[in-house]
């Protein structure tokens, strides 16, 4: 009958599809492996300074890939606002108030994380950073210690404290939030630039030293990104025009454009990437000479 014929034809078609899948390696097993490479399900992360700006975007990106996240922030108000927002979205995020310049508070935070995640941590994102822009000759001792303790010492100590947890997870990834100022000279921030350059080198050192422990380390170096922290720079019209004229894409970055790279570096799909500093900068660091002839 016609119905029987259609069924036979359908069966034949499905057999052909099955053969094609086998020939080209497309199978349910392969698909599952592919899904696992692009998922953070079952993994956890600590993001410092995660209640606003870039940190907030990073947390949302991690949550979208299925990770459980613990966030620390110096602002209890911002932290509580963000935690409430994430709870409504169904994200698995917890949080602690922490001044990362305090050694005692850093130790307490990692104890909390260890307790929450049963002594294991997959991902550490050292996101906190500060900038006081001045000419080099105008910096004073307090400026130096402020930058060093916030941008560099805290990240270094968090890595030390997190090492046993990252190692215990069997799959550890550290991401340092660097800056283009740690790769090329950016006017008005020599101390900031040196702390970011140091983070880039720390990523290289840890990538080599801790590879045997199953831990990768990378740095992400953004150009100026549209956040509350960068608002004053973007409101300066002459600065904005000059800066963006050196940026081939002609604009600042969006927080999620940086967050997407941070999360990618922590995915199983990025398991062979370590010790790298990757610029997310619209081409800023590769643009040697820009010339736009007058019309």
Question: pLDDT tens-digit profile of 228-287?
Answer: 777 777 788 888 888 889 999 999 999 999 999 999 999 999 999 999 999 999 999 999
pLDDT per residue as tens digits for the range 144-188: 999 999 999 999 999 999 999 999 999 999 999 999 999 999 887
In sequence order, what are the residues at sequence separation of 6 or more whose Cβ sits closer than 8 angstroms to the Cβ of residue 54? 127, 177, 222, 225, 227, 255, 258, 259
Whether 9 has a pLDDT exceeding 80, the answer reads no
Give the C-alpha separation, 56 to 189, whole Å. 24
CATH 3.30.365.10 fits 37-226+255-280, yes or no: no
Please report, for the chain, the start and end positions of each structural domain, with discontinuous segments joined by +. 37-226+255-280
Give the C-alpha separation, 261 to 266, whole Å. 9
pLDDT per residue as tens digits for the range 88-129: 999 999 999 999 999 999 999 999 999 999 999 999 999 999
pLDDT per residue as tens digits for the range 57-93: 999 999 999 999 999 999 999 999 999 999 999 999 9
The catalytic residue positions are 192
pLDDT at 236: 84
22 phi, psi to nearest 5 deg: -65, -45
What's 36's DSSP letter? H
Contact 174, 126 (CB under 8 A): yes
SS3 at position 174: strand
């Amino acid at each position: 009958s016609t119905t029987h014929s259609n069924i036979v034809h359908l069966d034949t078609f499905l057999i052909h599809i099955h053969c094609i899948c086998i020939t080209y390696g497309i199978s349910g097993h392969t698909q599952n492996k592919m899904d696992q490479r692009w998922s953070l399900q079952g993994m956890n992360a600590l993001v410092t300074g995660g209640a606003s700006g870039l940190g907030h975007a990073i947390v949302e990106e991690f949550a979208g890939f299925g990770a459980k996240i613990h966030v620390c922030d110096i602002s209890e108000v911002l932290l509580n606002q963000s935690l409430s927002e994430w709870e409504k979205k169904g994200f698995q995020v917890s949080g602690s108030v922490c001044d990362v310049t305090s050694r005692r508070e850093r130790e307490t935070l990692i104890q909390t994380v260890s307790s929450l995640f049963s002594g294991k941590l997959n991902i550490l994102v050292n996101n906190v950073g500060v900038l006081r822009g001045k000419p080099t000759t105008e910096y004073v001792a307090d400026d130096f210690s402020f930058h060093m303790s916030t941008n560099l010492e805290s990240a270094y100590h968090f890595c030390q404290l997190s090492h046993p947890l990252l190692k215990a997870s069997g799959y550890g990834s550290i991401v340092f939030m660097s800056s283009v100022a740690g790769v090329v000279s950016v006017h008005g921030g020599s101390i900031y630039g040196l702390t970011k350059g140091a983070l880039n080198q720390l990523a290289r050192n840890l990538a080599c030293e801790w590879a045997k422990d199953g831990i990768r380390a990378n740095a992400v170096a953004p150009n100026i990104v549209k956040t509350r922290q960068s608002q004053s720079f973007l409101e300066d019209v002459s600065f904005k025009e000059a800066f963006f004229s050196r940026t081939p894409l002609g604009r600042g970055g969006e927080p999620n454009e940086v967050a997407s790279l941070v999360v990618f570096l922590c995915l199983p799909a990025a398991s062979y990437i370590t010790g790298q500093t990757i610029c997310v900068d619209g081409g800023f660091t590769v643009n040697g000479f820009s010339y736009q002839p007058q019309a």
